Amino acid sequence: MNSIRMYHILIWLIAGIIFGLLAIKDQSIHARLGNPSELTGYCLLVTIVFLAFFNIRKRLSMLPMIGKASTWFMLHTVGGFFVLAVYWLHTKTIWPTGMYEKSLAILFYLTVTSGIIGYLIQQIYPKLLTQTGVEVIFERIPLRISKLRQKAEETMLKCCNKSGVETLGKHYLDTLQWFFAEPRFTFQHLIGSQRSQQWIQHQDNAVRRYLNIDEQKYLNELSQLAYQKNIIDIHYTLQGAMKCWLLIHIPLTSALMLLSFWHFLVVNVYAL
């Protein structure tokens, strides 16, 4: 573990040294009344292309000679912060003035922001999913929710038929039917809130006082099914976020590469 940490520190250190040398060279060219934007521009373009290759690396995971995925992920992370620093060094401002430059800046910042969000998702959500203690295949989640809803309705009907009282049935129709219909508390699961569990506990406490001992047994079953449904909802939300993030980040990266190459061609044409 210590060796891995030292390896990560070394990568960050190398990136910092490269950027420091680049900044010194930039100031040196500027002091000689030269134009350092060509140097930083080439460095920026090369870094963007390197970062884009991370997605290609994931598609070639069967080739061990191109390095471990964890190594590429670390390089991609460091490179993301590195490219942001180089961009500011290249533009000499956080926000440009020209319309074309603004368009390029917006696309660049959206790509970087989506990358940072993706990094946080990759670091946090797998741990939250592991804490549920359950493995769920994303494509089978609708079927699992359907089965849990069916069990909940069977439990509720069994209670009403045996007890002859509709208290639990009315409670189910007023509250739990909504919960079992589809994934709920999406935003709360995204931010790691315990609001859904508190809601289930509140619904349990609200009706338990009106039930006899036999009815409370059925309520216990309903609550357990609700907690199981809540875990499925967590997987649906977090796994869905991990999948949707790539559908945003990759197109943004592709668009940024195209616009960067166009910018490169335009600058060189004007230079001629």
pLDDT by residue for the chain (272 residues), tens only, comes to 567 778 888 889 999 999 999 999 999 988 887 888 888 999 999 999 888 887 666 655 555 555 677 777 888 889 999 999 999 999 888 998 888 889 899 999 999 999 999 999 999 999 999 999 999 999 999 999 999 999 999 999 999 998 888 899 999 999 999 999 999 999 999 999 999 999 999 999 999 999 999 999 999 999 999 999 999 999 999 999 999 998 999 899 989 989 888 888 887 776 55
In angstroms, the CA 163 to CA 161 distance is 6
What's residue 266's pLDDT? 82
What pLDDT is stored for residue 146 in this prediction? 96
Specify the pLDDT at position 36. Answer: 84
Axis crossing angle, helix 99-131 with helix 213-271, rounded to the nearest 10: 150
Q: How many CA atoms lie within 13 A of 266 on its CB side?
A: 8
Name the pTM for this structure.
Answer: 0.83
Q: Which residue has the tokens 């917006």?
A: 106
* 116 in Cβ contact with 264 (< 8 Å): no
Q: Which of 177, 184, 173 is nearest to 230 (CA)?
A: 184
Query: Which residue carries 């935003």 as its tokens?
Result: 187
Residue 97's pLDDT is 85
- 108 contacts 58 by C-beta, under 8 angstroms: no
- Report the distance separating Cα 185 and Cα 193, nearest Å: 9
Residue-level pLDDT at 64: 54
Asked if residues 183 and 142 have their Cβ atoms less than 8 Å apart, the reply is no
**C-alpha span between 131 and 154 (Å, rounded):** 29
Within 124-168, strands assigned E span none
Domain map (residue ranges) of the chain = 2-133+248-271, 138-240
Structure tokens that stand for 51 in this block:
């970062």
Q: What angle do CA 226, 232, 236 make, to 5 degrees?
A: 140
Rounded-to-integer distance, Cα 266 and Cα 271, Å:
9
- Cβ proximity of 22 and 86 under 8 Å: yes
Look at residue 148 in the predicted model and tell me its pLDDT: 96
pLDDT, residue 145, reads: 96
